[in-house]
Amino acid sequence: MLPAGLGLVLVGILSAQIDGTAKARLVFRRWRNPLPASDAFSRLGPADARVDMGALTRDHGPLPTDAAGQNALWFRLYRSIEDQPAVSHAHREYLFARDYHFLSALILIGLGVMALFTFDRFTTALAYVGILTVQFLITGQAARNHGRRLVCTVLARKAAEEPRS
């Protein structure tokens, strides 16, 4: 129990050393504008059948096309409904998947390198590194999916609100 508890503490401390933007860079594999809402109005919203882009344009004026502007407007929309259960649930799922993906990168690097030097058979070490690589790839896809779902959930809910008078 003690090693597992210490391992959890160490993982929590390591994860807290990296900010959310750096983790988003790892998840979305882009350095500039890595946050999931950077293409909220140009790509994600129009591709989601739940999002009424016309209602968003009507309620918020011309929608930004640059990544920073899209992220900024999306964040304002998010802040106005962040307490809705569907939105907070989607946000928690994204944050969990993003952090798990970051940790899987640390595990791949740390334990993968150690396995190459400590396993008796090189083929066993390669199989282990392969499993860690698959975990890294799957957690990355999950984090991207959850991030996009969060963005679209906010857009869909804001578009469905009654227009302001």
Q: Tens digit of pLDDT for each residue in 84-142?
A: 999 999 999 999 999 999 989 988 888 888 888 888 899 999 999 999 999 999 999 99
Model pLDDT, residue 114: 85
Burial class of residue 42, CB neighbours in 10 A (0-12, 13-18, 19+): middle
One-letter identity of residue 62: P
Q: Where are the domains of the chain?
A: 11-160
Model pLDDT, residue 5: 67
The whole-number average pLDDT for the span 53-66 is 94
Query: Of the candidates 133, 139, 96, which has an alpha carbon nearest to the alpha carbon of residue 111?
Result: 133
